[in-house]
Amino acid sequence: MQSLQFPYQTAIYHGKVRDVYTIGTDWLIMVASDRISAFDVILPKTIPYKGQVLNQIAEFMLGQTRDICPNWLLDAPAPTVSVGKKCNPFKIEMVVRGNLVGHAYRTYASGARTLCGVNLPEGLKENDFFPSPIITPSTKASEGHDEDISKEDIIATGLVSAEDWAVLEKYALALFNRGKEIAGKQGLILADTKYEFGKIGDTIYLMDEVHTPDSSRYFYADGFEERQASGEKQKQLSKEFVREWLIQNNFMGKEGQTVPEMSEQWIDTISKRYIELYEKVTGKAFVPTTFSDEEIITATTASFAKFCTN
């Protein structure tokens, strides 16, 4: 993985999709790459403009939800770059689900009626709405697979205090409701998503990306009920279609499995789906933009100079 070098850089972390640079002790630069991952595995080919899509949707959504809770973002000086405050992260992800889809559906289809300590009602079909959104947290693994965990175990093991959990729960549900409102105005249904939070001092901040195709699933609202009634597959915008393709080709990230060949046509299809989601969610036309490493460093350095002196 390629690394950049910024002034006053003190650390770098290469995630599955993002590269995170620590500046001094208080600031972060997050660079969204075109890498794509599924089942906690980085796939061997990159997806054109995926990083720009993720970064610009996150910038848009963080701006749209700033009244709900503080967030880490200060500026987005380049198409794939965000800069902001360094938080002490909680080692969990707050997964909020409005519909029975993805991992929740696979669990439900296996016969289980409890997920992360949450009781699931009988009689649901794939993609049905839950009576109200549910929170099904997972541990945030630095390597390997994230694991389901209940609220009770999170508090009992000290991952999060009971007081902080109450705030995380309130923020996560309010953010999900805002996400559904934004999606609804664009003819979409936000089916599920995940949030990450951290603290600076005693203040809890929303971190990382928000309501992007890597962290969320969207359904098309038009015709949703008719498709549910007839048992037809729902039209959706998310990364789930990549996971489904992998499953069809016998890959779920398990030991001994091989990632199937990604043709140029398939890569182009994935890229177009990401761009489509950007335009549907934000209501804006996507403008493909490429910055060189030098341009990223120059723009980001200027951004730090601006907000560090304010």
Write down the pLDDT at residue 96: 98
Helices (H), the chain: 50-64, 103-109, 151-156, 162-185, 224-230, 240-248, 264-282, 293-308
Task: Report, as an integer, the average pLDDT of 281-296.
Answer: 94
Q: Specify the number of domains making up the chain.
A: 2
Q: List the domain range (segments joined by +) for residue 13.
A: 9-87+265-308
| In a domain? residue 259 | no
User: For 200-227, how does the pLDDT look when each residue is reduced to its tens digit (9 = 90+)?
Assistant: 999 999 999 999 988 999 999 999 999 9
pTM (whole model) above 0.85? yes
Beta bridge partners of 81: 31, 78
User: For 137-174, how does the pLDDT look when each residue is reduced to its tens digit (9 = 90+)?
Assistant: 999 765 556 799 999 999 999 999 999 999 999 999 99
Q: How confident is the model at residue 27 (pLDDT cuts 50, 70, 90)?
A: very high
Nearest to 128 by CA among 157, 147, 151, 104: 104
The answer to whether 236 and 220 have CB atoms below 8 angstroms apart is yes
Give φ, ψ of 61 to 5 degrees.
-70, -35
Same domain, yes or no: 125 and 230: yes
User: For 36-61, how does the pLDDT look when each residue is reduced to its tens digit (9 = 90+)?
Assistant: 999 889 999 999 999 999 999 999 99
Beta bridge partners of 108: none
User: For 252-273, how does the pLDDT look when each residue is reduced to its tens digit (9 = 90+)?
Assistant: 999 899 999 999 999 999 999 9
Strand locations in the chain, DSSP E?
9-14, 18-23, 27-32, 37-38, 41-42, 73-78, 81-85, 88-89, 92-99, 114-115, 118-119, 129-135, 138-139, 188-200, 203-207, 216-220, 236-238
C-alpha of 23 from chain center: 23
* Average pLDDT across the chain, whole number: 94
Residue 210 maps to which CATH number? 3.30.470.20
Query: Amino acid identity of 137?
Result: P
Same domain, yes or no: 139 and 71: no
